[in-house]
Structure 1
């Protein structure tokens, strides 16, 4: 057995076993089948004779089990004939369900393989159930990625009759309890929910999250098909690597002091004799620290399949002012009156938000606000440009309102469900259009030509929770090969509007704000700027920043969204410290709203001016986010690091803190001067060679820069 990559080995009880692979898979002494394992420098996956598997971690010369032997790859079979349809449609399927979770191991083989993700070593296992199914599992460990395992699972009907299958499960495990007093488990999930919950949460008693990648509400769905569960010092990530979105779930559930997770597909299919059911390629990854490294690894592995977020235009890192402070009732006079203050404070983007259009779906200027129509829109853009700023326009594609000309003239573009009903978009009281329909794509390309090419805008703000995911489409006019075409080709719609905008202005900025949803990774190839998407707290600003810097790249143009949405409505520190572009929606000199005013008071103006100066002095959004250095759940105070021009910038957050903090990532043997870069570069301490701790006392945030003294 090599030290870098272990061969398949049979683990006979009480003795080291030779490599034995063959039909019958009996152990070296001719007895019953024993366990089979595949391992690398970090991960061990073992299978028992019933093809149940156990995960273990190799650390410090030893091996520690993370799970028991779990029925990890299972099938759910429906018993009996399907119910006959009624006059009202399909009848409820109330057939009993048999969970097939034991497959007698009958064959095993290993081989060196080459994959899209690099070279590795693969173990192929075949098992038979007592209920007429054969299961084949291929586990691949990659030479360049210790701790990562790929799992390809296939189920085959080896019986003589067709049978219906309701669901499958892959890599389903229950993690053993964390050490007593160690803080339990935390989780990241990439699913979207209508309550816009945190993406990063503690796994408390009763925690149960399905994490469905389809629609979890009428207009909330899609996401990144990865979950991560970690305790102090050890984590496990699970997801799939398919190049299109799949309607699967990644459930995470607290089971007493343990945590279960897995990859699950739920769709009734009929398997004829000899027919197979293939699951998406799954991956399991063991890691230290929190979820950042796992998401970064997922990004790199998807990159090996051609998925890369675009390099943002330089202007994507400029501070942003948005007219949404006036909401839909804005007027041109209000916007024009605010622009001088926007310019004075140093915000380089002016964004015209919702309310400029005649109706949702009718993307023409509202004559009540733009009496001259297109001419008024062009004049506004010219005013913004004359101030040395760039102009961005809000749109909500894929949404069309009842009563709009778009709906009247182009009903064929609607996304329809299996009953022929349109899919509702709640916020705008609108309906979905189908993103996979060529006509829908042609319409968004034409709109980009008008917005960027004719009106002269420098970018667009593509907005709406409905844009993150769509339901299957049954509209017969679209001639879909499968209803899931709409789901799997949503990214093509993104490609059309991104390419159309950049064909007109190569440095145009395409911002996508999916309003509280967990960004769908498959769409990220066509996003220049991703904001915190309507954060509910400063905590969301920060952990969404960590997440998106992992998924889109450490120097991606993440924006903190309107600072007015942060804690207290003025927490610029949470955006600046994680390397986010700053953004605001203040109103000035007046705010016509009787309540919920965002008026820039003299006190606010002083603070806004200060933070624009801090942001522009350091431009940390352009730096490299170092999410691997701190665990966002277990390291206290909460810590983030951005490296810019070889210098480390630290951000610490706590309600109150008094005590030492470790400055990780410093070069050994060097001395550092530590300064508070948000408060005039005031020195707060020095670090001698061989040390990395400093005493800090702060409330809410401390933003520090480590300046080498021996540079």
Structure 2
């Protein structure tokens, strides 16, 4: 007995000493080691290796395998450190480290992490470079710089470069050319060519302006460049829109330069023009992310850090959950009478289609462009309605439970809307954006643009326009469209902007006002959506609408890729409209509802002519699957590379552990694929869920599975697909 007591006491003492050691030991995965002139800052998946002049090599580690796709050399005619500044036409790049600090940090939004501060100087310009890594985000490093002028004279700021890297595919594949990458920069370059995923060439010279100059030139402060082996993305970590450039251009010997640059002359006062003697200047926060596969994971990280950055500015973060009505399919009038799209329709024609739409499962009717008489005034078109009461009567009739074959369905009613656009200035001039010379700013689609941060306009929108539409007419939701959602800074003196960029920085206020008015009035039925007429959506408006639409895709790939981007940035369960399932004369999509349902999109339609959608049986089958499988509510996972893996693979995981797969290509396929995302020690039953065909069992330890495509609808580009669900046993 005494021996047993002594043994138990020894065990307790050993456990006590172990816990004391654990308490004193730093268990964080983030570490700093100094080896000669090099500092190694490491998290689980991203490493930053700094030399004594703060040049940096970025490494990506997974399962012990480390690789890099950027050059950190400081030799050559134009070396590229990740951070540098040009003052009085002199580039300051070689900041020799004089001291450093490494400390623990705790952030309310990002959690536990470490901060490394590198202090150094180049001539009489001092710099403190701050890098933060967080345990919850093992593949991201945040950074910013503070420059101090010790020259004794004022210096003009020509440009500021940050998270700027020279990329070379040969570093990960010696057989490839140096520029052999794909990239995604969500920017509005040209209608029909936005959000696209394109290849890099040895002559590329892109200079993306963010947030652009309004009217279909908005953009997102994010760019991702990747190959089959790895990718690198850079993005802003700012809760306020900033005027800057994203560079992507051919560098030395076929390499590719990528990163941010700020130019004071086109920053509208956000960047200082002069660094005064003895003064300091701090750059904006940005991040670099390393990853496997395509842009999805980097986009997800951007969304997570944007959420935190918004909250730090006292703004709403990205929604964590969405109400049921955000996922309900809607039909709109734009294509009902023409494959070109038109505002020509009659209310009798709309009513004549509503029984059929109800039977297919649509729950909302949207009166598209053409329902009103004047943009900005928003009164009913007298050619379609005899007056306001006629519109109210239609809304009330749609709300009644009287539609469908069994007269047991009702509809919500949405209206097409351009929140910031107006085609008349009469009586509204005091609310409009003005140029520097005092003239009215002319937009691309609407003639003029309301100032989004003017208190006078916000009151007019809330108490006049929205009060009429939502309260008096009882409309359920508004769909913001056209390219007027990102105007340039406003110079109107009567708006009393405290600084030049204020109207852009607070652009979100207009959308916040609309969203809160609608959802406050109709929490169970209210709805807000964003299209912006093929334009990329402003991420700073994201918290203030329910559905982000894929915005007029012109190809099958755009349908799938834009949905992927929305799910990455807004969140894996965010409602993402499919950009309209229908083939139109101005797009080349297949008109295949399987592509919408299987990728987790919200079904939306311009026509819903089922003969153009593979036939009535095909359309009805996929609408039933839309509601029975509820993939739009599932967790969208980015486990395949949609550029380098063929066929394109999509994975959605549901709360019960079921994993859904969809594969698409423009050519027929018959091959074995790896079913990614299965739990290793779990057995699943595999079912082709579009036919109910049981395909046997599959286990996570042996996830290889044979798939053979089916031809989809071919109104436009041909699409082939295969869908599968794996149910855990």
| TM-score, reference length from structure 1 | 0.86
Q: What is the distance in 2 between the residues matched to 1:660 and 1:63? A: 28
Residue 270 of structure 2 is matched in structure 1 by none
Aligned-partner SS, 2:208 = coil
Aligned-partner SS, 1:465 = coil
Q: Find out whether 1:399 has 2:421 as its counterpart.
A: yes
Residue 571 of structure 1 is matched in structure 2 by 592
Q: Find out whether 1:129 has 2:122 as its counterpart.
A: yes
Residue 9 of structure 1 is matched in structure 2 by 33
Aligned-partner SS, 2:672 = strand
Deviation of 1:39 after TM superposition, in Å, equals 2.1
Deviation of 1:619 after TM superposition, in Å, equals 1.9
Q: 1:601 to 1:274 in 2, by over 3 A?
A: closer
Aligned-partner SS, 2:153 = coil
Aligned-partner SS, 1:581 = coil
Q: Find out whether 1:226 has 2:226 as its counterpart.
A: no
Residue 173 of structure 2 is matched in structure 1 by 179
Q: What is the distance in 1 between the residues matched to 2:194 and 2:497? A: 34
Residue 653 of structure 1 is matched in structure 2 by 664
Deviation of 1:227 after TM superposition, in Å, equals 1.4
Q: 1:181 to 1:350 in 2, by over 3 A?
A: farther
Structure 1 contact 237–285 (Cα < 8 Å) conserved:
yes
Counting only pairs closer than 5 Å after superposition, residues 63-212 of structure 1 correspond to structure 2 as: 63-69=66-72, 70-78=80-88, 97-116=89-108, 117-130=110-123, 132-177=124-169, 178-180=172-174, 184-195=180-191, 196-212=193-209
Deviation of 1:166 after TM superposition, in Å, equals 2.1
Q: What is the distance in 2 between the residues matched to 1:211 and 1:5? A: 36
Residue segments in structure 1 that go unaligned for 5+ positions in a row: 13-33, 79-96, 588-597
Structure 1 contact 248–263 (Cα < 8 Å) conserved:
yes
Structure 1 contact 313–509 (Cα < 8 Å) conserved:
no
**Deviations, residues 121-173 of structure 1 (Å, cap 9, x unaligned):** 2221222223x422211112223322321112112222222221121001111
Aligned-partner SS, 2:537 = coil
Counting only pairs closer than 5 Å after superposition, residues 482-493 of structure 1 correspond to structure 2 as: 482-493=499-510
Q: What is the distance in 1 between the residues matched to 2:521 and 2:593? A: 34
Q: CA RMSD in A?
A: 2.4
Q: Which moved more, 1:190-199 or 1:528-537?
A: 190-199
Deviation of 1:311 after TM superposition, in Å, equals 2.9
Q: 1:204 to 1:604 in 2, by over 3 A?
A: farther
Aligned-partner SS, 2:604 = strand
Deviation of 1:330 after TM superposition, in Å, equals 1.8
Deviation of 1:236 after TM superposition, in Å, equals 1.6
Deviation of 1:281 after TM superposition, in Å, equals 1.0
| TM-score, reference length from structure 2 | 0.84
Q: What is the distance in 2 between the residues matched to 1:681 and 1:657? A: 20
Q: Which moved more, 1:327-336 or 1:549-558?
A: 327-336
Deviation of 1:320 after TM superposition, in Å, equals 1.3
Structure 2 contact 185–223 (Cα < 8 Å) conserved:
yes
Deviation of 1:609 after TM superposition, in Å, equals 2.7
Q: Which moved more, 1:283-292 or 1:526-535?
A: 283-292
Q: Find out whether 1:626 has 2:637 as its counterpart.
A: yes
Structure 1 contact 358–364 (Cα < 8 Å) conserved:
yes
1:545 to 549, 553, 563: 563
Q: 1:676 to 1:664 in 2, by over 3 A?
A: same
Residue 329 of structure 2 is matched in structure 1 by 319
Q: 1:426 to 1:607 in 2, by over 3 A?
A: farther
Q: Find out whether 1:243 has 2:239 as its counterpart.
A: yes
Structure 1 contact 559–583 (Cα < 8 Å) conserved:
yes
Q: 1:236 to 1:530 in 2, by over 3 A?
A: same
Deviation of 1:110 after TM superposition, in Å, equals 2.2
1:41 to 40, 44, 52: 44
**Deviations, residues 477-500 of structure 1 (Å, cap 9, x unaligned):** 111111211111011111110001
Structure 1 contact 191–225 (Cα < 8 Å) conserved:
no
Q: 1:668 to 1:143 in 2, by over 3 A?
A: closer
Report how many residues are paired.
650
Residue 674 of structure 1 is matched in structure 2 by 686
Structure 1 contact 672–706 (Cα < 8 Å) conserved:
no
Aligned-partner SS, 2:627 = helix
Deviation of 1:242 after TM superposition, in Å, equals 0.9
1:494 to 495, 511, 518: 511
**Deviations, residues 29-53 of structure 1 (Å, cap 9, x unaligned):** xxxxx23332233322222233322
1:363 to 348, 366, 378: 378
Q: What is the distance in 1 between the residues matched to 2:529 and 2:625? A: 23
Deviation of 1:54 after TM superposition, in Å, equals 2.0
**Deviations, residues 359-394 of structure 1 (Å, cap 9, x unaligned):** 1111111222211x1101111112211231111111
Residue 24 of structure 1 is matched in structure 2 by none
Q: 1:194 to 1:275 in 2, by over 3 A?
A: farther
Q: What is the distance in 1 between the residues matched to 2:232 and 2:68? A: 13
Q: Find out whether 1:261 has 2:286 as its counterpart.
A: no
Specify which structure has the higher proportion of strand.
1
Q: What is the distance in 2 between the residues matched to 1:544 and 1:75? A: 35
Q: Find out whether 1:213 has 2:171 as its counterpart.
A: no
Residue 20 of structure 2 is matched in structure 1 by none
Q: What is the distance in 1 between the residues matched to 2:369 and 2:63? A: 57
Aligned-partner SS, 1:503 = helix
**Deviations, residues 224-279 of structure 1 (Å, cap 9, x unaligned):** 32211222131222111111111122222344553321121111412221222211
Structure 2 contact 591–612 (Cα < 8 Å) conserved:
no
Residue segments in structure 2 that go unaligned for 5+ positions in a row: 1-24, 73-79, 266-272, 312-316, 404-409, 712-718
Structure 2 contact 682–700 (Cα < 8 Å) conserved:
yes
**Deviations, residues 649-705 of structure 1 (Å, cap 9, x unaligned):** 111001211211221112334443332222x21234543563212222214343423
Q: What is the distance in 2 between the residues matched to 1:223 and 1:142? A: 27
Structure 2 contact 438–492 (Cα < 8 Å) conserved:
yes
Aligned-partner SS, 1:363 = coil
Q: Find out whether 1:332 has 2:351 as its counterpart.
A: no
Structure 1 contact 310–527 (Cα < 8 Å) conserved:
no
